[in-house]
Structure 1
Amino acid sequence: MENALRTVQANGITLAYRTWGPDQAPDDAPPVVLLHCRGADSTDWDRIAGPLSAARRVYALDLRGHGRSDWPGTYTYESMRDDVLAFLTALGIERTDLVGHSLGGAAAYLLAQQHPECVRRLVLEDVPAPFPLDPPRPPAERPDGDLAFDWAMVLQTDEQRNTPDPVWWEHMGRITMPTLLIGGGATSLIPQDHIAVLADLLLDARLITIDAGHLVHETRPKEFLVAVEAFLGL
C-alpha cells in the first residue's frame, strides 16, 4: 500500500520508512530520500513527498530515536549517517537524491562527505553548519508527557551540536555533487550567515532563502517544492 509504514533492518536496528511513487522509475531518475528534523518523523514530509513522487520513487525515514524506528539509546550524527547508508544498501539503492532538514540535513551532508558516490544531488534545508556554538546550548528540559522521540536523542545531539567534530568541517570539501541550500531567513533559529559560509565552501552549491523560519517546507511548501523540483530536474 502506497505510503504505508514499512520497516527494514539496517545498521543493527529497525528503521521505519514510508514510500511513494513508481516502483520502477527510469534509469536516469534515481529515488529521492527525505530526512526529517529533530523531533519529527517521516509523516513530516507528507505534503512534499506526493508531488516529488510523480516521476520518482520517494522514501522518507524515521531517523533512529524517532517515530516507529528503534530507540536504541545511542544517538550521534555519525550513527544516523550510517543508518541512512545501511538503509540504502538494504533496499538496493546505489545512488539517490538526498534531501535533509536540520538534523536530517547534517546526517545528509556527513553521508555525502563519506560516500559521495551514493548521492547524485543534495538538498540541505535550514541546516546547521558544523561550528561550535558560542555560547553553548544549555541543557534542555524534558517536556511533560509522552514524546514521539527519545529524549536521550535530544541531549546527545545537543552535546554534539555544541562541540561538533572538527572533521565534519575539514571534510566539507569532499562534497562535490550539486548542492542546494535553503535558508529559512531572519526568523529561523539557525544562523543564516553560517549557512552562507557553508554554501561558499562547497564546490558546486547554490543558496536561496525562503523567509519561513526554520520549518521551511512545512510553512511554505509550494515555494519549497518549486525550488527543489527545479534543482532535481523534476
Structure 2
Amino acid sequence: MDTTPRTVQAHGITLAYRVWGPPDAPPVLLLHARGHDGSDWAQTAPALAAGPRRVYAPDLRGHGRSDWPGDYRYATMADDVHAFLTALGIDRADVVGHSLGGAVACLLAQRHPETVRRLVLEDVPAPFPLDPPRPPAERPAGDLPYDWAMILATDRQRNAPNPVWGDHMGRITMPTLLIGGGATSLIPQEQIAALAALLPDARHLTIDAGHLVHATRPEEFLTAVDQFLTPWHPAP
C-alpha cells in the first residue's frame, strides 16, 4: 500500500497528507495532536482502512511537511481541513481527532456540519479556560518538526478559548464518540464529561491509557472506533 506523503493546495497553503485504503471506500479523516503529524496514525490507519475505508491523515498547518504560515487559530485550522476535503473532492467523511486535532474537528463540525457524518474525539481539550492557566512554554533546543509559534499560539487559545467554540457545541448534531484517556491523562477528564454533556448525540468512553489512547491501547481504541463508524450508508 502506497502511503508516501502527498501534497495538496488548500486554503492558500500546502498541506501534506498520507492515505490508506481503496479509493472508492467511504472516507475517514484522521487529525493528529499538537506536535505530531499524519504519520502518528501509521499504526492505526491500516486497521481502519481494512473496513474497507479510505483513510486520510493530513499534517495540520505548522506541523511536519505542511506549510508553517504563522496563523495558528483553531478556526483557521478547521477551515484548512474543510478546504482539504474540498480539494480532494470529498463531500462527507467520518472525522477522528486527537487532542488539538479534536479541537479542530469540533470546529469543523460546527462550521461545516454537512461535511461530518460521524465524529470521534480522542482525549480532546474542552472549550473551557484552564485554571490555573498553562505556564509559558520553553522552547526545546535544536530543530523541531513543528513551528514553535504554533505551540505559543495554541497555548494561548487553550488558556483562554474563544467563547464561540463552547457556545456553538449544540451545532454538532451528528453522532459523536468521546474517548477519554483516564486519570493519567494530561486532559482533565471531568472536562471531557462536561463536553459530552453539551453535545446532542454523544457517547462517552474511558480507556485508561493516558493521553495517547490510540498509541498506548490500540486494540481497544480501534474496536471502539470501528464499531462506532460502522455501518456507512452513502446517500443514493
Q: TM-score, normalised by structure 2?
A: 0.96
- The one-letter amino acid paired with 1:36 is H
CA deviation after TM superposition for structure 1 residue 113, in Å: 0.6
Structure-2 residue corresponding to 1:47: 43
CA deviation after TM superposition for structure 1 residue 67, in Å: 0.4
Structure-2 residue corresponding to 1:227: 224
Q: Distance in 1 between matches of 2:86 and 2:69?
A: 20
Q: Distance in 2 between matches of 1:115 and 1:76?
A: 17
Structure-2 residue corresponding to 1:17: 17
CA deviation after TM superposition for structure 1 residue 148, in Å: 0.4
Q: Distance in 1 between matches of 2:93 and 2:21?
A: 14
Q: Deviations over 1:131-183 (max 9, x none)?
A: 01111111100001111000000000101111111111110000000000000
Q: Deviations over 1:94-131 (max 9, x none)?
A: 00000000000000000101111000000000000000
Q: Distance in 2 between matches of 1:139 and 1:51?
A: 38
Q: Which runs of 5+ in 2 are unaligned?
A: 232-236
Task: Provide the aligned C-alpha RMSD in A.
Answer: 0.8
Give identity over the alignment, percent. Answer: 75
Q: After the TM superposition, which residues 6-155 of structure 1 pair with which residues of structure 2 at under 5 Å, given as runs?
A: 6-25=6-25, 30-54=26-50, 55-155=52-152
2:80 counterpart SS class = helix
Q: Distance in 2 between matches of 1:81 and 1:139?
A: 25
1:47 counterpart SS class = coil
Q: Distance in 1 between matches of 2:73 and 2:163?
A: 15
Q: Distance in 2 between matches of 1:74 and 1:205?
A: 31
Q: Distance in 2 between matches of 1:36 and 1:124?
A: 11
CA deviation after TM superposition for structure 1 residue 74, in Å: 1.5
CA deviation after TM superposition for structure 1 residue 66, in Å: 0.3
Q: Distance in 2 between matches of 1:181 and 1:188?
A: 14
Q: Distance in 2 between matches of 1:227 and 1:102?
A: 17
Of residues 151, 156, 173 in structure 1, which corresponds to 2:153?
156
| Structure 1 residue 5 corresponds to structure 2 residue 5 | yes
Q: Which runs of 5+ in 1 are unaligned?
A: none
CA deviation after TM superposition for structure 1 residue 195, in Å: 0.3
Q: Distance in 2 between matches of 1:83 and 1:47?
A: 25
2:103 counterpart SS class = helix
CA deviation after TM superposition for structure 1 residue 75, in Å: 0.8
Q: Distance in 2 between matches of 1:139 and 1:230?
A: 40
Q: Deviations over 1:35-78 (max 9, x none)?
A: 00000001100111001111010000100000000011111101
- The one-letter amino acid paired with 1:2 is D
Structure-1 residue corresponding to 2:211: 214
Q: TM-score, normalised by structure 1?
A: 0.97
CA deviation after TM superposition for structure 1 residue 23, in Å: 1.1
1:37 counterpart SS class = coil
How many residues are treated as equivalent by the alignment?
A: 230
